Amino acid sequence: MESCSNANGSKFGKAEVFSPAGLVAYAEGAVVSRTIVESGGGTVTLFAFAEGQGLSEHTAPFDALVNVLDGEVKIAIAGKPHLLKSGESIIMPANIPHALSAVTAFKMMLVMIKA
């Protein structure tokens, strides 16, 4: 069975339970990312944003699902702000400008489906 390693270096298999928030660690003044699934059909990437960090406005060619794992984030989609907390999700539509700003340190799982 193919395996991945978590932030502590321990291994987990594709058919094993894991905690996404535990696979990416906060770093002061930085944004940390870790891709856990990558295929021609899409990606699943974990992010940890330090408080005050963010991503400037940009677009993506595919819909993207954001699932907040920890903390709070302000996500602006087409200029409309959305405040999300741990346990909440939003879909950022393809080709629509969006930006993210960490209200507190926060972690998210970003799922992009290309097909």
Ordered by where they begin, the domains of the chain are: 27-113 (2.60.120.10)
Check if the beta carbon of residue 46 is closer than 8 Å to that of residue 85: no
31 within 8 A of 97, measured Cβ to Cβ: no
* Residues of the chain where predicted confidence (pLDDT) is lower than 70: 1-12, 115
pTM of the model: 0.87
How confident is the model at residue 8, as a pLDDT? 45
Collapsing DSSP to helix, strand or coil, 60 comes out as coil
- CB-side neighbour CA atoms (13 Å) of 113: 7
pLDDT of residue 12: 58
Residue 11 pLDDT: 52
Both tokens assigned to 46: 């974990």
